[in-house]
Amino acid sequence: MSKAVKIGVIGAGSAQFSLGLVRDLILTESLHGSSVCFMDIDEERLDLVYRLAQRYVEELGVDLHFERSVERKAALVDADFVINMALVGGHGAEEAERDLAEGHGYYRGVREIPMQRQLAMMLSVAHDMERLCPHAWLIQSSNPVFEGCTLMTRETGVKVVGLCHGFAGYRKICRVLGIDPAEVTWQAPGFNHVIYLTDFRYRGENAYPLLDEWIATKVEHYWATYQPGYGDTDMSRSAIDQYKRLGLMPLGDTSRAFTTWWYHTALATKQYWFGPLGGFDPEIGWQMYLDKLQQNLEAIARAVRDESTPISKALPLTHSGELQLPLIDSLTNDVQLLAPGVY
C-alpha cells in the first residue's frame, strides 16, 4: 500500500540529479501520490527541471505532484523529507578553491579544502527545518557530506543522513575479477570518500584471495591496457597501493580523496597512479567531467523542448542507482533496502 509524502529538493537545478530523482519516483509505485517541491535560485534551470517532471506525469498519468520555487521555505514547509544537493557557487567556486591551494604549492588543490560556503548553507537549511518541518528527515547529497552531517547533527536536532554512492565500486572490482556481483556479499563501513571493503565474499567464501591472485598475475597487464574514465579509480595503482598498505580495498573516491598527498603532486604523478586522464581532479579529467555535465544538460533541455517526442522515449525510465528514493521508500513504507533500485 502506497503512502504519500512531501519531498523538498534544495538545489534542484542540478538537472541530471533531478532527472534521476523524478524517474526513480515514477518507478517507485509505493510513493505515488507524493508531492515534490523543487527549489533553486537559478530560475532557468529550475523551470527546466519542473517542465521535465510535468512532461513525465502528463504523459504517463502518474499520480505525482510537482511544484517549483526560488524560496527555500516553500520546499520545507510540511516536508517529510528534504534532499539537499545544492552546491553554493557551482563548479566555478571549486575552481577558485583549487587556485587558492595551488598558490600554496598543492597541484589542483587536492580538493579537500574545508568548504565554508557549503557548510554555512547546510547549517542554515537544518536550522530552517527545525522551524518549518522539525520531524522531517534531511538527506544530505552534496559535499562535504561527512563534515556537513557532523556539523548539522551537533548544532541542530534535525534527523540527518548523508548519502554517498562510492560503495558501488565493489561492482567494478567484481567485473575485473570476473565474478558475478549478484553472488557477492560485502560490507563497506566508513564515511564519505573514506570507504573500505571490510568484508568481501563470493559464494560465501572470502573473495580477497581472488583479488590477491589477480594482483599477482594480471594487474600489470591491466594497468598497461585499461582506459579508465575520469572518475574510475577503483582498480587503479592508487587503489591497489592502499590495499597493500592497509589490507582492505578502498572503494569509490577513497583512493584519490584520502590524505595520500604523494598521489597528487603533479599531472604526471596522477597519471601514473590513476591512468592516462590522471583521475577526476586534474585539468584533463575535470574538463571531461564538466563537458559531460553540459552535454547532459543540453540533452535534457532538447528532450523537454521537443514536445513531438514522448519524454519517456527521449529519456527512458531507468533507475538512477542513487539511494535517495529507495531510502525514502524504506523509511516510509517499511520496505527493506537492499541496493539502489533493488528490493
pLDDT tens sequence across 297-333 = 999 999 999 999 999 999 999 999 899 999 999 999 9
Report d(CA 48, CA 40) in Å as an integer: 11
Q: What is the mean pLDDT of residues 89-95?
A: 81
* Confidence label for 342 from pLDDT (cuts 50, 70 and 90): very low
Same domain, 158 and 213: no
pLDDT at 66 over 90: yes
Q: What is the mean pLDDT of residues 25-48?
A: 96
- b/e code 291-307 from CB counts within 10 Å (16+ = b): eeeeeebeebbebbeee
What are the beta bridge partners of residue 161? 139
Q: Which domain-ending residue is among 281, 298, 323?
A: 281
pLDDT at 343 over 90: no
User: Higher pLDDT residue, 279 or 206?
Assistant: 206
Same domain, 44 and 150: yes
Report d(CA 221, CA 21) in Å as an integer: 39
Write down the pLDDT at residue 301. Answer: 95
Same domain, 208 and 315: no
Q: What is the chain's length?
A: 343
Task: Answer yes or no: is 343 within a domain.
Answer: no
Q: What is the mean pLDDT of residues 20-47?
A: 96
Q: 30, 157, 15, 181: which is closest to 85 by C-alpha?
A: 15
Same domain, 25 and 153: yes
Amino acid at 41: I
- What are the CA-CA distances from residue 10 to residues 87, 124, 233, 323 (Å)? 10, 12, 29, 16
Write down the pLDDT at residue 171. Answer: 93
Report d(CA 295, CA 5) in Å as an integer: 33
Same domain, 23 and 152: yes
* Confidence label for 1 from pLDDT (cuts 50, 70 and 90): low
> Which cell is 209 given?
584471495
> Is 165 one of the catalytic residues?
yes
pLDDT at 340 over 50: no
> Which cell is 223 given?
594497468
Task: Answer yes or no: is 290 within a domain.
Answer: no
Write down the pLDDT at residue 317. Answer: 95
Q: What is the mean pLDDT of residues 31-59?
A: 96
Same domain, 72 and 157: yes
> Is 63 one of the catalytic residues?
no
Task: Answer yes or no: is 302 within a domain.
Answer: no
CB atoms within 10 A of CB 184: 17
Q: How many domains does the chain have?
A: 2
User: Higher pLDDT residue, 53 or 337?
Assistant: 53
Q: What is the mean pLDDT of residues 156-169?
A: 91
Q: Which residues, 6+ apart, have CB-to-CB distance to 170 below 8 Å?
A: 181, 184, 186, 188, 197, 200, 251
Domain span at 73: 6-165+307-333
* Confidence label for 110 from pLDDT (cuts 50, 70 and 90): low
Same domain, 12 and 124: yes
> Strand ranges (DSSP E) for 31-99?
35-39, 65-69, 81-84
* Confidence label for 41 from pLDDT (cuts 50, 70 and 90): very high
> Strand ranges (DSSP E) for 146-299?
159-162, 184-187, 190-191, 194-197, 199-202, 205-206, 249-251
Same domain, 94 and 201: no
pLDDT at 339 over 80: no
Select which of 32, 127, 165, 319 is catalytic: 165
Q: Which helix (H) or strand (E) holds 138?
A: strand 137-140
Which tens digits make up the pLDDT trace of 248-275?
999 988 888 765 778 888 999 999 999 9
> Mean pLDDT for the chain?
90
pLDDT at 15 over 90: no
Q: What is the mean pLDDT of residues 230-244?
A: 91
Select which of 128, 232, 234, 253 is catalytic: 253
Q: How many helices (H) and strands (E) does the chain have?
A: 15, 12
Report d(CA 302, CA 170) in Å as an integer: 35
pLDDT at 336 over 90: no
